[in-house]
Amino acid sequence: MTTWALDYPLGRPLLPAAQLTRRRPATGLTPLVQPGDRVRADQPVAEAPDRSRVVLAGMAGRVREVTPGSEVSIEGQVMYLAGTLGLGGSAVGPLAFLARGESIAMVAIPTGAILVYPQRIPLTLLQRAISGGVGGIIAASVSGLELEAISRLDLTALYDGLIPEGDRFPVPVILTEGLGERVMDAITQRILTQRAGEYALISGLTDPRRNIRPEILLSLPPDSPVMPLPADPALIVGARVRVVAGEYRDAHGQIVQLFTHRQRDQIGMLTESARIRMENGLMCVTPLHTLERLA
Amino acid sequence: MARVVDGAESMARAEASQSERQTTPRSILLIDCGSVFTKLALVGIVDNQYRLLARTQVPTTVAPPYADLLIGVREGCQQLEALTGRRLVGPESILTPEQGDGAGVDTIAVTTSVGGPLRLLTTGPGREALAGLLYKSLGGLFAQPEALPVAPVEAAQDDPAWGELVAQLRALRPHAIVVIGAPSTGIRGAGTITDHAQSVARWLEVLRSAPREDEELRLSSLPVVFSGTTEDGMTLASTLRSATAMVHTVEQLTPATIGPLSRALNALYDGVVLREAPGYTRLRSLAGPATATLTSLAGVARFLAHHYKMNVAAVDVGASATMLAGATTNGEFLPALFPQGGVGPGAGYVLRAVGAPSILRWLAVEADENIVREYVLTRILRRRMIPTTQLELELEYAMAREAIRLALHAPGSRLSGLHPVDVLLATGGTLTNTPHPAHTALILLDAMQPRGITSLVLDSGRIATMLGSVAAVAPDVAAQMTENDAMPSLLGTAVSVTGRPEDGQPAVRAFLEYEDGKKDNIEVAAGALARLAVPHGRRALLSLYPAPGVDVGLGPGQQARASEPVEGGALGLIIDARGRPLDLPTATMERMARLREWRTAIGIGGAR
């Protein structure tokens, strides 16, 4: 018996190498590229006639389509990381971390960069980052009320599709783990740390009804081998998974057994469950609905 | 009311004639396409009775990455194959009819709530005057009516109020506009049909202009359904000729003609809501048109009410919708629906409708609004997730209580006035998969607040919502299944008293006399909840002695002795002397202490 983890539009929250096409909005701008051109992630693909505004490619690859005054479509090989929820539209910039050991009230804000904060981001820092001109924010988590306060949105209404203002938030914000007090997943943090300084294309657009998730795209060298899409989301024996809720939240491991019958979980509910061998070698039984497939 | 019954009877006749055209099915595959899970059940003949052979559920595949309903259905079939050893799926599709070697099934019946309700904007000169009839015509349909205000003749584009109204209506993502013509009797309608036709034309134009990307196609041809006279219908069609592709006119809405509008809207549900779901058209070609889950649940409630000659209410708290279906002994059908609110992705609708304090009041542990909001957002974002901690469980059941109350008191609902409710059937994943059956009983008592004597019954097979669709193709099968599998688990018998005794007196004394002569009794104070265990398989006669001023269902102070013995069940006899309406203390600590007392009394272990 198998079941699926279907929370992500491409099948999994992390794809080491995928071929994707993304449209870069260029409303009112003049294209600088033509279909077939190869582009770098930090390369301008459109600009305003007075050069006051420039749109960067965001991902290395090939220009597929150019609609003058509207958009430039680019296809490339990328590493894909999906967030849990987000706000705002898309942005391009180098990944940047805050200097260690400095107070968040005083630390220098990397203007124009995509700020990575691998913990719960405090309201003060969120405000400083936005007013300080970051291109975007990737954080592990945030307080729900604080995010609603700064966005001045009822997020339940936003994600129910009742208000269209989500993409009008001044900068894209991506929360990799979600709301509450969460630290960034170890794999995600490692990847972002390794790619610090490199350009990323991020999108905060989130629409759970259509399973649209915020995303982080990190360019790969041309002609990197890519995996077919959608990636298989089946929770099967041997699959590498991470636990996103419950007693073993944040643990990584491998499914070693899928139970034929439902098991009682820690609060006494009967749930379809799997036995997981965690990275520390211990075994645990956890409900399937708490699992995300990584590989 | 008589016409509603007539409608039900004519539907039953249609179902019967349809079944006569078919041979008796040897096997049936029931498919319930929900907003989060696709549930499947295999029904076959065991000892000359239709019985549930196996059931399973898989996450719905209606959204990306698969965006095809049928992939989930096929996966579910394969799981049923693994559970039963019976082949159901061929190289191309589900095998039907049943093969000589027992593979496949004779009949496939589909229920669904996928795609959400049919969202209707209602207007017209008769909308207010005929609101009661409009709601009756919507009874049993998975529909969400919203009032469409009259559009001003010259709306200023830069008027913020107008812009906000347009944004709100767009956000509703309507499927159709329903125009109710002026009533034919002496009641005067509001405005003329010409006024309303021009208003609808303006709305269609506004909704069509600059729509959101995903709505472009649908809003550009929003259908209009008109119920009224032919002459008014022509006026409307003429005004809307250039504004919409379709104006469907049905008979004028009167107590005698509820059916035509109901049928037109049901067809619209199939045509515009379900067919938008990727893969539905192919599923439809296999199994025929799907039945809305509410319609199906209504069929089960009606069957039970008719069969047992009792008032029945079925309760299904879903992930994205909450559905109640009441049916009375005389055949009256009382649906109640909160179409977009549930405990999963629909939790946001519940929270916005009642506010965080209404959720928090059901919690026996300390929490604040931020916790509620974060939980609700997590449920919206992680659609498959169910509670994993005690706090999340508390929040889930608090949401369930409020979702039921919202459905119970929704516009057009008459179920809240049904007394007594003799049988309360709990179905759906939320109410049937609880850590202890007492959770289900307490949710039902808190939210439905029945009066008098009520049998609390659990659909432990979780197939009640599917059975109404079987009734359309094989009524006998539905009847046998309902008796054998949909209602096998009696949670307990609840006695809910109203009124207050004089100070110091118990509200009610209950006596149980078992068949072997053993006796048991309990005194319950006002404001308390108590339980007297009646083991499975035991039966006992119940006598109730209320204090003066306290009503156990027969009038204040009237004693009661049940003519039928109380059956043993998971919980036995529950005496709910908390009063009606149920008042929760306003002081937080006192309220939490009271909630813990009630939980302990009903048998929920570990209530802190």
Tokens of B401: 């209580």
User: How do residues B99-157 score in pLDDT, each as one tens digit?
Assistant: 999 999 999 999 999 999 999 999 999 999 999 999 999 988 999 999 998 888 776 66
Give the one of B340, B374, B435 whose C-beta lies nearest to A268's C-beta. B435
Placement of tokens 């906000």 in the chain: B164
B65/A160 Cβ within 8 A: no
| Model ipTM value | 0.96
Q: Which DSSP string do the residues of B73-126 spell out, in sequence order?
A: HHHHHHHHHHHH----B-SSSB--S--TTS-S-SEEEEEE-TT--EEEEEESTT
Which chain A residues in 172-191 lie under 8 Å from chain B, judged by CB atoms? 178-180
The pLDDT score that the predictor gives to residue B415 is 93
Instruction: Search chain B and give the residue with CA nearest A181.
Output: B374
At B220 the pLDDT is 58
Nearest CB among A10, A162, A289 relative to B384 is that of A289
Starting at the earlier edge strand, list the strands of the sheet with A54-56: A30-31, A44-47, A54-56
Do the Cβ atoms of A28 and A47 come closer than 8 Å? no
Residue holding tokens 């770098």? Answer: A40
In chain B, pLDDT over 70 holds for what percent of residues? Answer: 92
Q: What's the DSSP call for residue B556?
A: B
- Dist. CA B466–CA B292, nearest whole Å: 9
Query: Across residues B300-309, what is the average pLDDT?
Result: 88
Mean pLDDT, residues B294-299 = 90
Size of interface A-B (CB pairs under 8 A): 132
Residues B79, A229: C-beta atoms closer than 8 Å: no
The closest alpha carbon to B182, from B132, B123, B266, belongs to: B123
Going by pLDDT thresholds of 50, 70 and 90, the confidence category of residue B20 is: very low
φ, ψ for residue A236, nearest 5 deg: -125, 165
- What pTM does this model have? 0.93
Q: Give me the residues paired with residue B325 across strands.
A: B314, B335
Q: Any idea what DSSP says for residue B109?
A: E
Residue B382 has pLDDT above 60, yes or no: yes
Cis peptide, bond prior to residue B289, ω within 30 of zero = no
**pLDDT at position B4, please?**
30
For residues B263 and B255, what is the distance between their CA atoms, to the nearest angstrom? Answer: 15
CB contact under 8 A, A161 and B385: no
- DSSP symbol at B498: B
Phi/psi of residue B400, nearest 5 degrees:
-60, -45
Count of CB atoms within 10 A of residue B191's CB? 16
Task: Give Cβ neighbours of residue A252 (< 8 Å, ≥ 6 apart).
Answer: A186, A187, A240, A241, A242, A243, A278, A279, A294
Picking from B488, B486, B494, the residue whose alpha carbon sits closest to that of residue B448 is B494
Mutate to test the interface with B, among A160, A265, A285 (most CBs of B within 10 A): A160
Q: How confident is the model at residue B168 (pLDDT cuts 50, 70, 90)?
A: confident
Cα distances from B473 to residues B22, B53, B271, B326, B559, in angstroms, run 8, 19, 21, 22, 46
Query: B254: which DSSP letter?
Result: -
Whether the predicted pLDDT of B380 surpasses 60: yes
For residue B22, what pLDDT band results from cuts at 50, 70 and 90? Answer: low
Q: What is the pLDDT of residue B483?
A: 79
Tell me if chain A has a CB within 8 Å of the CB of B161.
no
Phi, psi of A153 (to 5 degrees): -130, 145
| pLDDT tier at A166, thresholds 50, 70, 90 | low
Q: How far apart are CA A295 and CA A258, in angstroms?
A: 17
Confidence class of residue B5 from pLDDT cuts 50, 70 and 90?
Answer: very low
What is the arithmetic mean of pLDDT over B419-446? Answer: 96
Rounded CA separation A38/A75 (Å)? 10
Spatial neighbors of A144 by CB under 8 A, at least 6 apart, are A155, A179, A180, B370, B373, B374, B377
- d(CA B325, CA B50) in angstroms, rounded, equals 24
Contact A86, A206 (CB under 8 A): yes
Work out the pLDDT band at B212, boundaries 50, 70, 90: low
Band of the pLDDT at A197, cuts 50, 70, 90? very high
Count the Cβ atoms, other than its own, within 10 Å of residue A38: 14
Chain B residues whose beta carbon lies within 8 Å of the beta carbon of residue A259 = none
